[in-house]
A and B are shown apart, each in its own frame.
Chain A
Amino acid sequence: MTSNVALANNRSWLDFLRKTGVWVGILVVVAAIYGYTTEPQVTTSMLASTLRQSTPLVLGALCGLLGERSGVINIGIEGQMLLSAFVGFLANVYTGNLFIAVAAGVLTGALLGGLLAFMSVTLKMDQIIGGTVINILALGLTGFFYQTGLTTQGKLQPIALGPLADLPLVGPVLFENPPITYLAIILVFIMHYMLFYTRWGLRTRAIGEHPRAADTVGINVNRMRYINVSIAGGIAGLAGAFLTLEAVGSFERAMTNGRGFVALAVMIFGKYMPFGVWGSALLFGFATALQTQLQFSGTIQIPHQFIGMLPYVLTIVVLAGFVGRTRPPAAEGQPYETE
């Protein structure tokens, strides 16, 4: 089924996978089996926690990826997540309905995406400034309207996928998760398929690499950027909904805690590829899970402030040292001007 052409697209991803993926994969499986034989409960909870911690990062990074593939840099993911988390939370508090709440979060993210598109496409503003506007806006609005003492009416509950959930280790980790966690994984596959095997994907990649070429064959570059950046915002909104409606069940000030920015690191480390993004989000998720585990187990005598740094140190180390040469879409950050 896979034609040469599609393969060629994924060339860099396949190289990357070949070089690192196989070894990392083997290492992870060996470590997991070893861990399970010695400390089954800790291992299971660590891996489950890795997946949960990675979910907002996967979603945030997919948001960034879709924007940049279309030529728009989005550093407002943090703000999109935060405001969506807040609106989703309020929607649940006042309606009591989880589905409406998630939809409200997604819609909020999409609207903020539309705002970013308006600033970067129509106003041709510097896209870094545009993203910063969104971050500050979200921080200000949520801070102003925040009320203490509110909690959601219920949370999104894990759904066990029948007999699969009864498998040892794999079951509780992979097949007994709440809906947004499943959705994030499904979105990775959907995004990959859409980007590399559909008309929409071909056009999206074209407007991010060489918008003028796309324009001369009749593609409406600016309209496409509007649509894609809004969809991307919706995905960040889903990440926000995850935080309040699936993970925590309440809202706290600045609860995104830098995840939107870590998501950008995840996107770059994932080489702007959906599966790459997933892999690197799992790595960061693991760092967060490890940090939590170390703090609770108390076996290692390190001040918790230092352990808490782990995910952020990893961000710096990965971005500074291990990313190697990534090639971002050529036209990212540039407003498209017809001559």
Chain B
Amino acid sequence: MNNADKQVVLEAHGISKHFPGVIANNNVDLTLHKGEILALLGENGAGKSTLMNVLYGLYHPTEGEIWIKGEKVHLQSPRDAIDHGIGMVHQHFQLVPVMTVAENVILGSEVTTAGGRLNMRQAARQVNELSQKYGLAVDPSAMIEDLPVGIQQRVEIIKALYRQADILILDEPTAVLTPQEANELFHIMRELTAQGVSIIFITHKLKEVLAVADQIAVLRRGEMVGTVLPSEATEASLAEMMVGRNVILQVEKSAAHPGDVILKVEDLAVLDDRKTSVVNGVSLEVRAGEVLGIAGVQGNGQRELVEALTGIRSVASGHFFIQGHDATHYTPRQITMLEVAHIPEDREKHGLVMAYPIEDNTVLNQYYVQPYSHNSIVDRGAIRSHANALVKEFDVRTSSVTALASTLSGGNKQKVIVAREFSKPVKLLIAAQPTRGIDVGSIEFIHKQIIKQRDNGVAVLLVSAELDEIMSLSDRIAVMFEGHIMATLPIAEATREKLGLLMAGSHS
């Protein structure tokens, strides 16, 4: 594909955007040609979303110019961007759940009859026309809250097309999709570009970029690193551009030297919120200095198992022992006091207090002991210096430790949790989905931390839905299916095929 022949539809020159304490974009150039898919690649916090919000008029750039179809524009608001043919599908869908598809599509650009009455028939007809033209099947009268996320995303695309967008910005569109839904989306994207729509596709997933993009632009720390063609790139070369150094996608680790049994689970049964038994007689052991990975399709009792072992959920029957103590009915704090670290599955709900500053989040597991508290009075100075040291050591990208946890990107949130959990002596680490939805650099960092802990003699229980992650980190792998441990394999014997069969409940 020769881009020189193609018309340039959007050009950004020297875009800079400064926030107090942070330079989110620094002198960024970007060129989009008609009918092309431009992938914008970068780690979390690299400034991708900021750049797109500038192009969509949500932010005003500190410096720089934007040209659309040969015309210099000043985008004051989304309205301006829409008028210039830019449509954006946000990472978090901007749809009103209790309204219908058609209502959401026309919102803000309503069709009305002479008397000012909404013309919902015409709206439905227009939605149908668009969905036929671009192969985006939706029912205009369906309520948004009843639709699966993949369909909601189509509604977002139709919403942009209804506003005559011919430049479409898709912000991390695959983050919420299953692999099948993602494939459908790629199909739709190609259909759109074939009909003259130009697409900016934001992501940090390397495989997708190589599969779907015509051009790849890479952002790192707010600066444009370069633009490459997919034919000239590999996953490794892209990862290097994103992170700025060689990224080892494979985790390097030496052989394990298992020691004493730290966690012993005996015939444990746990109920879920609907009082049905989802963990049915699980027994396992984790020794010091080894990683036991729990593989399995999500929803087979892994979450409840972790919650029981960390004291969040009560145990129906059976026992578990941590360092020889029967901790079956311990409170979360008693379990923490047994030198247990926990990286919870839902970092925003259970990992951090979003409305607290970062510094307070770094002491959630030990604010009540010396040196952070003296006789129940909190020592702010000690907490702050502790937080500053952790932020530095774990490379958390933030303007200040007094910033709220909610302001951090996903990868940085996870780093704060990991930093907190490892900032006191650890004998047992329970990590659930530790790298879900975070960027390559952070994944690599967290993987290294987990292996480092193992090598220091920590027993690690790792629960993950990513088979790659389980296979690269674990020394032994237990497969969970319908609340049972199907089998436990040493890493040397575990192949994808074997694990896949066990995860589907087959014994063979």
Residues of A within 8 A of B (CB): 3-6, 8-9, 197-199, 201-203, 205-206, 209-210, 212-219, 327, 330, 338-339
Q: Is the CB of B117 within 8 A of A197?
A: yes
Q: Given the complex, which residues of A lie within 8 Å of B104, measured CB to CB? A: 213
Q: Is the CB of A5 within 8 A of B100?
A: yes
Q: Given the complex, which residues of B lie within 8 Å of A8, measured CB to CB? A: 100, 141, 143
Q: Is the CB of A5 within 8 A of B103?
A: yes
Besides A9-B100, A216-B90, 8 more A-B contacts (Cβ < 8 Å) are A4-B100, A4-B141, A5-B120, A203-B108, A206-B96, A213-B96, A214-B108, A216-B58
With A5-B141, A8-B141 already in contact, the answer to whether A213 and B94 are too (CB < 8 A) is: yes
Q: Is the CB of A206 within 8 A of B102?
A: no
Complex Cα distance, B109 from A214, in Å, reads: 11
Q: Is the CB of A209 within 8 A of B97?
A: yes
Complex Cα distance, B78 from A203, in Å, reads: 16
Q: Given the complex, which residues of A lie within 8 Å of B106, measured CB to CB? A: 202
Q: Is the CB of B78 within 8 A of A215?
A: yes
Of B90, B99, B102, B121, which one neighbours A209 at CB under 8 angstroms? B99
Q: Is the CB of A214 within 8 A of B116?
A: no
Of A9, A202, A205, which one neighbours B110 at CB under 8 angstroms? A202
Q: Given the complex, which residues of B lie within 8 Å of A338, measured CB to CB? A: 58
Tell yes or no: B98 within 8 A of A by CB.
Answer: yes
B104 to chain A, nearest CB (A): 8
The 3 lowest CB-CB distance pairs between A and B, nearest first, are A217-B108, A218-B79, A213-B94
Q: Is the CB of B94 within 8 A of A216?
A: yes
Q: Is the CB of A5 within 8 A of B107?
A: no
With A5-B102, A5-B124 already in contact, the answer to whether A217 and B118 are too (CB < 8 A) is: no
Complex Cα distance, B112 from A225, in Å, reads: 22
Q: Residue of B at shortest CB range from A12?
A: B98
Interface of chain A, main secondary structure: helix
User: Could you show 18 A-B contacts with beta carbons less than 8 Å apart?
Assistant: A3-B121, A4-B100, A5-B123, A8-B100, A8-B143, A202-B106, A202-B110, A205-B99, A206-B96, A206-B99, A212-B94, A216-B56, A217-B78, A218-B77, A218-B108, A218-B109, A219-B107, A219-B108
| Residues 333-350 of chain B, each 1 if its beta carbon lies under 8 Å from chain A, else 0 | 000000000000000000
Complex Cα distance, B190 from A57, in Å, reads: 57
Complex Cα distance, B109 from A205, in Å, reads: 15
Q: Residue of A at shortest CB range from B83?
A: A218
Complex Cα distance, B89 from A94, in Å, reads: 59
Tell yes or no: B95 within 8 A of A by CB.
Answer: yes
Q: Given the complex, which residues of A lie within 8 Å of B41, measured CB to CB? A: none
Q: Given the complex, which residues of A lie within 8 Å of B97, measured CB to CB? A: 209-210, 330
Tell yes or no: B136 within 8 A of A by CB.
Answer: no
B4 to chain A, nearest CB (A): 34
Q: Is the CB of A210 within 8 A of B96?
A: yes
Q: Residue of B at shortest CB range from A2?
A: B120
Tell yes or no: B478 within 8 A of A by CB.
Answer: no
Complex Cα distance, B98 from A213, in Å, reads: 12
Tell yes or no: B82 within 8 A of A by CB.
Answer: yes
Complex Cα distance, B24 from A339, in Å, reads: 14
Of B116, B141, B143, B163, which one neighbours A199 at CB under 8 angstroms? B116
Q: Is the CB of B141 within 8 A of A206?
A: no
Complex Cα distance, B117 from A253, in Å, reads: 44
A270 to chain B, nearest CB (A): 17
Q: Given the complex, which residues of A lie within 8 Å of B82, measured CB to CB? A: 217-218
Q: Given the complex, which residues of A lie within 8 Å of B109, measured CB to CB? A: 217-218
Tell yes or no: B140 within 8 A of A by CB.
Answer: yes
Complex Cα distance, B131 from A287, in Å, reads: 53
With A8-B100, A205-B96 already in contact, the answer to whether A213 and B107 are too (CB < 8 A) is: yes
Q: Is the CB of B78 within 8 A of A218?
A: yes
Q: Which of A198, A209, A218 has the most CB of B within 10 A?
A: A218
Q: Is the CB of A197 within 8 A of B78?
A: no
Complex Cα distance, B97 from A6, in Å, reads: 15
| Residues 174-205 of chain B, each 1 if its beta carbon lies under 8 Å from chain A, else 0 | 00000000000000000000000000000000
Tell yes or no: B242 within 8 A of A by CB.
Answer: no
Q: Is the CB of A339 within 8 A of B77?
A: no
| Residues 105-145 of chain B, each 1 if its beta carbon lies under 8 Å from chain A, else 0 | 01111101000111011011000000000000000110100
Q: Given the complex, which residues of B lie within 8 Å of A199, measured CB to CB? A: 110, 112, 116, 118
A328 to chain B, nearest CB (A): 11
Q: Residue of A at shortest CB range from B110?
A: A199
Q: Which of B53, B90, B120, B163 has the most CB of A within 10 A?
A: B120
Q: Is the CB of A198 within 8 A of B116?
A: yes
Tell yes or no: B443 within 8 A of A by CB.
Answer: no
Complex Cα distance, B207 from A188, in Å, reads: 57
Q: Is the CB of A217 within 8 A of B107?
A: yes
Complex Cα distance, B433 from A55, in Å, reads: 58
Q: Is the CB of A216 within 8 A of B88?
A: yes
Complex Cα distance, B116 from A197, in Å, reads: 9
Q: Given the complex, which residues of B lie within 8 Å of A6, measured CB to CB? A: 118, 120
Q: Is the CB of A198 within 8 A of B117?
A: yes
A118 to chain B, nearest CB (A): 22
| Residues 443-481 of chain B, each 1 if its beta carbon lies under 8 Å from chain A, else 0 | 000000000000000000000000000000000000000
Q: Given the complex, which residues of A lie within 8 Å of B110, measured CB to CB? A: 199, 202
Q: Given the complex, which residues of B lie within 8 Å of A4, measured CB to CB? A: 100, 120, 124, 141
Q: Residue of A at shortest CB range from B111?
A: A199
Complex Cα distance, B141 from A203, in Å, reads: 18
A272 to chain B, nearest CB (A): 11
Q: Given the complex, which residues of B lie within 8 Å of A215, measured CB to CB? A: 78
Q: Is the CB of B99 within 8 A of A9?
A: yes
Complex Cα distance, B107 from A213, in Å, reads: 9
Q: Is the CB of B107 within 8 A of A206?
A: yes
B206 to chain A, nearest CB (A): 28
Q: Is the CB of A214 within 8 A of B117?
A: no
Q: Given the complex, which residues of B lie within 8 Å of A213, measured CB to CB? A: 94-96, 104, 107
Q: Is the CB of B120 within 8 A of A209?
A: no
Q: Residue of B at shortest CB range from A216?
A: B94
Q: Is the CB of B94 within 8 A of A3?
A: no
Q: Is the CB of B95 within 8 A of A202?
A: no
